[in-house]
Chains A and B, each alone.
Chain A
Amino acid sequence: MELFSKTLSEISKDIKEKKVTIKDVLDSVYKRIEQVEPKIGAYITLTSKEAYERAKILQEKLDNGIDIGVLGGVPIAIKDNICTKNVKTTCASKMLENFVPIYNATVIEKLEEAGAIIIGKTNMDEFAMGSSTETSYIKKTSNPWDVERVPGGSSGGSAACVSADMAYAALGSDTGGSIRQPASYCSVVGLKPTYGLISRYGLIAFASSLDQIGPFGKTVEDVALMLNIIAGHDKKDTTSANLEKKDYTKCLVNDVNNFKIGIPTEFVNDGINKDVKDAYDTSINKLKELGAEIVDIKLEYAKYSLATYYIIATAEASSNLGRYDGIRYGHRAKEFSDLIDLYTKSRTEGFGDEVKRRIMLGTYVLSSGYYDAYYKRAQQVRTLIIEEFKQIFEKCDAVMIPTAPNTSFKMGEHSTNPLEMYLEDIFTVPVNIAGLPAISIPGGFASNGMPIGLQFITKAFDEEKLLQIAYTYEQNTEFKSKKPSIN
């Protein structure tokens, strides 16, 4: 077995037991990148020089009997909207093409304290706005299961690199499904934690009340290990929750006996691909077999999540992206007539079409005359959606729905109609609107061979139950062992 194809928990054990050196591990992963990256295009920046320097220091420590941390020497990839000190962080935008942060995001500090080695920054939709990674200004990313198809998005590079064994785990961000949907398209595990569980300090803002950082992994166990490291209160993020630290590996128990799983049949049946539906039905039977109790539930308001999302997210984005004015950092136009023209030209040149569309829509829903009809109303519907989930979690331990209504589509297939692309988020956005935790795990394959994702949702800050259910499902199915051949 090649080193790169191992899981995070396997390789960190091998390193600690000195079966391999950290350099061996890095060599294997970078060699893998050299082989498959030309076909996939998951990375924007590779940090091999820094990675090898860090490997040397960590190995010396290890050889001298010093603890190098839970993730000691393990190569990890980071989405390019998470600030890394002295390493370019572009948000896949022309606006930040040359932006080099002078500080680390809190999650990066935590990963490095735990001994992880950052091996590169991954491609994404520009400013995390998109569901296919096609809005990236920098490059296209292919799905490892079919290079003519998209990896999903916006964290498409992070999902693709874990799927193609080009990193043991990765960080992404999820505002409306940007971790779970690409995890589903690429057949890896992707976790969107409860809003507030992980510090957003150093995450370049898209929609602040929805954004959340989370891990991608090859297994549920790896995702739990990553969550252990990155979760926790941070005084630099006033929206981070001050809770006692938990060990999420303790909930990796193969048991869902008597767990009540909510199935919103009506909500799921609407506009869903047949293969996805079949896989979903099979999963329901699987859970029954494993002893879970299936509970029929109704989601009256969740179907309004998408409309609610595209009002709230764009409103927050139009405000957050106001900071890009070409003055202190970011792209500045070469030619302009006065100060206002400098702002306008810099923004017009620096942002791509999807980002502009969302800034315009956000400005519209916040503008006088429309604020009450759109923005305020969306915030009220948000309250109704939150309440609906609260009631459901009084009688269910978790809700299970597909991660996406379809499997990965061909590049360019949805590029002419933005609304069509937005509809791909129908099953992921309710979770962000309500601030809940959710996980996407491999749940089967369509007749064309493309992966299907299965999503579990629990009440806020109940990641333990979420991981236990996901782990049990994973342990009793074969999907995670199947790897893409990368044609």
Chain B
Amino acid sequence: MSVSKEEVIHLSKLSRLEFDEKSLDRITNDLSSIVDFANQLSNIDVEGIKPTAHILDIKNVFREDNVDKSYDREEILKNAPEKEAGCVSVPQTVE
């Protein structure tokens, strides 16, 4: 296995996902086979090749920092799963 179960557990914490024992085995398997497949790239000589993050030759695009009308608070809150007093409500974050 090119990806270990311990690594998968670590990745799941980074990804904020949970897997039960059975699906942990399955995803370890899946990730290993995909990583093995991706390892074919190690055969290519990439010495001195510039990485491409983006295919268009666009640099930073700026706009004037003008005050503009934004969305209505009530409208935006329509999609919030829990809300209170015009705000999105969340569990207590600071003791």
Contacts and interface: CB of A to CB of B under 8 A. Distances in A.
Given A382-B51, A419-B33, A360 B8 contact: yes
A384 B7 CA distance: 31
A187 B9 CA distance: 43
Contact of A384 (B31, B44, B90): B44
B53 interface: yes
A46 interface: no
A327 B88 contact: yes
Contacts of B11: 360, 363-364, 367
A336 B91 CA distance: 9
A30 interface: no
B17 interface: yes
B30 A357 contact: yes
Nearest to A344: B16
Contacts of B53: 209, 379
Interface residues of B, number: 51
Interface in A340-380: 340, 342-345, 347-348, 351, 353, 356-357, 359-361, 363-365, 367, 373-374, 376-380
Contacts of A376: 51
Size bin of chain A's contact surface? 35 or more
Interface of chain B, main secondary structure:
loop
Interface in B75-95: 75-76, 78-82, 88, 90-93
A357 B51 contact: no
A425 B26 CA distance: 23
A24 to B, nearest CB: 36
Contact of A238 (B23, B41, B61, B75): B61
A270 interface: no
Contacts of A380: 46, 49-52
Contacts of B71: 102-103
B67 interface: no
Given A235-B63, A327-B88, A377-B42, A307 B37 contact: yes
A102 B73 CA distance: 11
A347 to B, nearest CB: 5
Contacts of B54: 209, 239
B7 to A, nearest CB: 8
Nearest to B74: A102
A241 B52 CA distance: 18
Contact of A359 (B17, B58, B63): B17
A304 B44 contact: yes
A308 interface: yes
Contact of A304 (B40, B52, B75, B76): B40
Nearest to B79: A329
Contacts of A99: 79
B88 A328 contact: yes
A418 B49 contact: no
Contacts, number: 160
A3 interface: no
A445 interface: no
A382 B46 contact: no
Interface in B13-69: 14-19, 23, 27, 30-31, 33-35, 37-42, 44, 46, 49-56, 58, 61, 63
A115 B14 CA distance: 46
A194 B49 CA distance: 24
B51 A379 contact: yes
A439 to B, nearest CB: 18
A152 interface: no
A384 B76 CA distance: 44
Contact of B27 (A100, A304, A357, A386): A357
A373 B42 contact: yes
Contacts of A419: 30, 33-34, 37
A332 interface: yes
B16 to A, nearest CB: 5
A114 B72 CA distance: 27
B12 A360 contact: yes
Contacts of A264: none
A292 interface: no
B55 A209 contact: yes
B75 A102 contact: yes
A328 B79 contact: yes
A102 B78 contact: yes
30 contacts: A98-B79, A102-B79, A103-B71, A195-B55, A195-B56, A209-B53, A209-B55, A239-B58, A241-B58, A306-B37, A307-B38, A328-B79, A328-B88, A329-B79, A345-B18, A356-B17, A356-B27, A360-B11, A360-B17, A360-B27, A363-B15, A364-B31, A374-B35, A376-B51, A377-B44, A379-B51, A380-B52, A383-B52, A384-B46, A422-B34
Interface of B: 3, 7-8, 11-12, 14-19, 23, 27, 30-31, 33-35, 37-42, 44, 46, 49-56, 58, 61, 63, 71-72, 75-76, 78-82, 88, 90-93
A-B complex: 5 closest residue pairs judged by Cβ atoms: A435-B55, A379-B51, A332-B81, A329-B79, A380-B46
